[in-house]
Amino acid sequence: MQVPFLDLKAQFESVKSEVMPAVEQVCASQMVCLGPAVENFEQSVAKYCGSKHAIGVSSGSDALLVSLMALEVGAGDEVITTPFTFFATAGAIARVGAKPVFVDIDPGSFNMATRDIASAVTPRTAAIMPVHLYGQICRMEQIMEVAAEYELAIVEDACQSIGAAQKDKKAGTFGQFGCFSFYPTKNLGAFGDAGLIVTDDEDLAKKAKMLRNHGQSSQYDYEFIGGNFRMDGIQGAVLDAKLKHLESWNEKRRANAEIYTEKFSGSPVKPPMVEPGNVHTYHQYTILAPKRDELKDYLNKKGVSSAVFYPKPLHLHKCYDYLEHREGDFPVAEQLSKEVLSLPIAPELSSEQIEYAADKVLEFYSKK
């Protein structure tokens, strides 16, 4: 049996009849940069997330960038975040000229260790950028307490967690800004690059809207120095059609996760843990696996694909040499980067495929 990591072609076939007419409509109207299809999608997402405003942008990376620009975070500022995330999180901080300040992660949730945040605050700290990794929201109560105490903004990197919830509140709606990515492999994927920002603050929403279009306030009047961070009309149309399926896709991911977690009980593998009050969306189903690389090879030979997110924490990359970190600075992130393995969890996969993948994992250890 083959168990691919994703099956985006199967997903396309399942929504083709809804997506293609919407795409064709955009083509016919030629409103292809922003336009009504993007506006419709923005309204749908705002409603889905329970936030007042949504601003479609060109990517998740740009959502983070525009959020920091709107908050005027820049040179001389520090932003606290995690070293165990996709590159773009800290990349956005550095791109506005601010300094990424890392805190280590919690080994249970893979998210920022909230107890370490307060001690990373300095007089230059401007914001906290929590990352809801793999589809699980950080401990936002604690993060919001620290933010309130030191008057810091919160920009949530919710790029992996659209639809995730904590006590009935959706990812992206805790901070000043929540940022989403619709990169094709995400739980809600576009036909190319796209991203989105949500906020409840009307002034910040207006500013972010201007910034995504060069900072233009009215035609050829520029109030800020922004950039071209506009969402394509086609992506708006695709995403609005697909959003209707997101809840059932996330439900299917949770069902797949349950199969794995049951199979792995009592095995050498540590399944991901869901913190109390959280609804996980399993953007990734990530286990801690002894002899991780050997297991990955074994699975590959048996037709089961898997992936490592992320093999090297951000503080150890060459581009951050100037931060003068060294190995050992964030030991939990460093250790877990050697043990994490994400297994196929996509909603298009059948329960038979998930069971097969789980059995192959167990088979690997039974032979040791």
Ligand X SMILES: *Cc1c(COP(=O)(O)O)cnc(C)c1O
Residues that bind ligand X (CB under 6 A): 59-61, 85-86, 88-89, 131, 157, 159-160, 181, 183, 193, 195
Given the complex with ligand X, which of 185 and 350 has the nearer CB atom?
A: 185
- Residue 123: CB minimum distance to ligand X, A: 27
Given the complex with ligand X, which of 314 and 354 has the nearer CB atom?
A: 314
User: Token pair for residue 153?
Assistant: 């903004």
Given the complex with ligand X, which of 86 and 264 has the nearer CB atom?
A: 86
The helix (H) or strand (E) run that includes residue 336 is: helix 331-336
Omega within 30 of 0 (cis) for the link into 310: yes
- Residue 346: CB minimum distance to ligand X, A: 16
- Residue 231: CB minimum distance to ligand X, A: 11
Given the complex with ligand X, which of 195 and 233 has the nearer CB atom?
A: 195
Residue closest to 107 by CA, chosen among 334, 360, 348, 365: 334
- Residue 182: CB minimum distance to ligand X, A: 7
- Residue 85: CB minimum distance to ligand X, A: 5
Given the complex with ligand X, which of 160 and 342 has the nearer CB atom?
A: 160
Q: What's the helix, strand, coil split of the chain in %, to 5? A: 45, 15, 40
Residue closest to 160 by CA, chosen among 33, 350, 361, 345: 345
Given the complex with ligand X, which of 130 and 358 has the nearer CB atom?
A: 130
Q: CA torsion angle for 214, 215, 221, 223 (degrees, to 10)? A: -150
Residues 342 and 309: beta-carbon distance below 8 Å = yes
Given the complex with ligand X, which of 11 and 82 has the nearer CB atom?
A: 82
Buried-exposed string 151-165: b where 16+ CB fall within 10 A, e elsewhere: ebbbbbbbbbbbbbb
- The per-residue DSSP string of 69-115 comes to HHTT--TT-EEEE-SSS-HHHHHHHHHTTPEEEE--B-TTTSSB-GG
Phi-psi region of 307 (alpha: psi -120 to 50; beta: other; left: phi over 0): beta
CA distance 135 to 132: 6
- Residue 111: CB minimum distance to ligand X, A: 11
Which residue sits closest to ligand X, CB atoms considered?
60
- Residue 294: CB minimum distance to ligand X, A: 27
